Amino acid sequence: MDNTIVYGDPPKKPGIMLACKIFLILGVIDLYIMQIPMGITFYSIYAQKPGPNFNFKLIAVEIGIFFVCALVSFILGIVAGVKNTKPMTKITFILKLIMIPFFIINLIMWLCLLGGMMNPFTFMGIPFVMALGACLTYCYMIATGLPDIMFAIIYHIKNKKKPKIIMIVGILLCFIFVLDVVGIFLMNKAYKDYELEA
């Protein structure tokens, strides 16, 4: 008996993919909460005033929580693709928009940190801090879109359907900072086009 899913058939209920998005939402909330200890810590460094000792540990914990949420979301995205659930890329698109203020705040935080390091004792550490900030920021961006990328790849393979150009372009743009928002938008549009063709 042929169990191949016919592309265009109504997908299953979005239970797994909804759980995936919930973990993404929790991760984004965590990133915003993380700005509080980061702000206190960076201000202390910039103003050369002693700040609470727990701030660095709290920042590390918050970063860890985000990546745990991202990992669970990544796994659920793969499972959702295998189970042929609804993609729900619109939620990711909204999350990407919600994260725009975070990235602006995040940039200001790192610039303040770099400003506080403009002295002979810490000047040599600036390249390391710049690399760390860039890597973490890029990981935040990728982590919020990776579940949808994996879902799209599995979804097309499982349905034996050649992806539309806008889907391919959308996936590629998801790896480019700022343009990732456009990428998710194009992916969502591609899914809508598939529904109209069904």
Is a pLDDT exceeding 60 seen at residue 7? Answer: no
Is a pLDDT exceeding 60 seen at residue 148? Answer: yes
* Confidence grade of residue 3 (pLDDT, cut at 50, 70, 90): very low
Taking only the tens place, the pLDDT of each residue in 100-126 is 999 999 898 888 777 767 777 777 878
Lowest mean pLDDT among 61-65, 89-93, 109-113, 169-173: 109-113
The more confidently predicted of residues 82 and 41 is: 82
* Burial readout 94-106 (b: 16 or more C-beta within 10 A, e: otherwise): ebbeebeebbeeb
pLDDT at 50: 59
Q: In the beta sheet, which residues pair with residue 12? A: 85
pLDDT at 129: 83
The more confidently predicted of residues 110 and 178 is: 178
